[in-house]
Chains A and B, each alone.
Chain A
Amino acid sequence: MLLDLVVVVLMVCGLLLFLATTVGLLRFPDFYTRVHAAGKGDTLSTVLMLGGLIIYLLRDFNGETALTAVKLSLIVFFVFIASPTATHAIIDAGYESKVPYWTRRKGAGAGYDGPERRRQDRQI
């Protein structure tokens, strides 16, 4: 019963992150911020979902379910490597083809005194 509760909690958290990804994809103002929502929400939500399913499968433990659990963790590992790489490929393609980006500043950083103002060499 306790294991079922853990599974429910994990999968509902994963679903919440999927929801946040979708909402961010729909309402963020430009392409670059949408990439933020899509690229980040993918990793942890997949981990939570598949983690819940692994626990659900391992309730009746035998060799076959153990092998399935290992394969599921391989998918998790793959998502962790592939998701940032795909995000990078997409955002680089958008940047190269000059997709306009949304910014709050009228002039380049005029009147703004944030952390990177003090590092002129590190700022465009």
Chain B
Amino acid sequence: MAAVVTFCVMFAFWVVMSGKLDLFHLGMGVMASALVSWLSRDLLFSGHTKTLGGTLGEIGRFLRYAGWLFWQVVLANVHIAGLSLSPRAMERIDPRIIRFKTVLKTDFARFVLANSITLTPGTVTVRIQDDTFYVHAINPQAAGDLAGDAVGGPGEMERWVAWIFEGGKR
């Protein structure tokens, strides 16, 4: 199952990249994508034993998340550009490393959360050790946004990711 999905993704990529639709190039594409998907069959969708409908639901929820994430990317770029072009940048930064425990279980969800943290304003994921995230924040404001509410529950982004992959409430 995973190998078939990998093959389809690889072959679509091949067709887009080659742009030729004759028998020779398509045959080469089939051979190359079959080889690659056989070699990496346990790499792309490891531990992913959900049904097709569940996967499609995940993709749909992820696309809604991607819209929100793109807005965060715009904010992050404007934030860092304002910070680095500001004449008083040294007074405005106050870096620190914070850590927090995540509620996410699967590796892929943690990967998505780590990349999202890196893309959003003022924070970069340093390391994931088991279920603990180490995050470098450029000022305490960014650290506070990430860590969530005062009770210690998950922050907004972590709730998004949990909602996508693990059926939690957003």
Contacts and interface: CB of A to CB of B under 8 A. Distances in A.
Central interface residue in B94, B96, B134, B147, by most chain A CB within 10 Å: B96
B138 A33 contact: yes
Interface string A80-122: 1100110110011001000001111100000010111011011
A85 B124 CA distance: 10
A124 interface: yes
A115 B141 contact: yes
B164 interface: no
B97 A101 contact: yes
Contacts of B152: 119, 121-122
Nearest to B111: A85
B80 A118 contact: no
**Looking at chain A's contact residues, is the secondary structure mostly helix, strand, loop, or mixed?**
helix
B127 A95 contact: yes
Contact of B90 (A29, A114, A116): A29
Contacts of B125: 84, 88, 91
A85 B67 CA distance: 20
Contact of B93 (A33, A40, A88, A91): A33
B124 A87 contact: yes
Contacts of B115: 81, 84-85, 88
Contacts of B90: 29
B126 A95 contact: yes
Contact of B118 (A16, A19, A88): A88
A9 interface: no
Contact of B84 (A28, A81, A102, A115): A28
A27 B126 CA distance: 21
A29 B92 CA distance: 12
B148 to A, nearest CB: 8
Given A115-B141, A123-B98, A37 B80 contact: yes
Nearest to A74: B16
15 contacts: A19-B85, A21-B81, A23-B85, A28-B89, A29-B90, A36-B138, A39-B118, A40-B79, A40-B121, A74-B13, A88-B118, A88-B125, A104-B94, A104-B95, A122-B147
Given A36-B136, A44-B76, A119-B152, 8 more contacts: A19-B85, A28-B84, A29-B90, A36-B138, A87-B124, A114-B141, A118-B150, A119-B147
Interface of B: 13, 16-17, 19, 73-74, 76-77, 79-81, 83-85, 89-90, 93-100, 114-115, 118-119, 121-122, 124-127, 134, 136, 138, 140-141, 143-144, 147, 150, 152
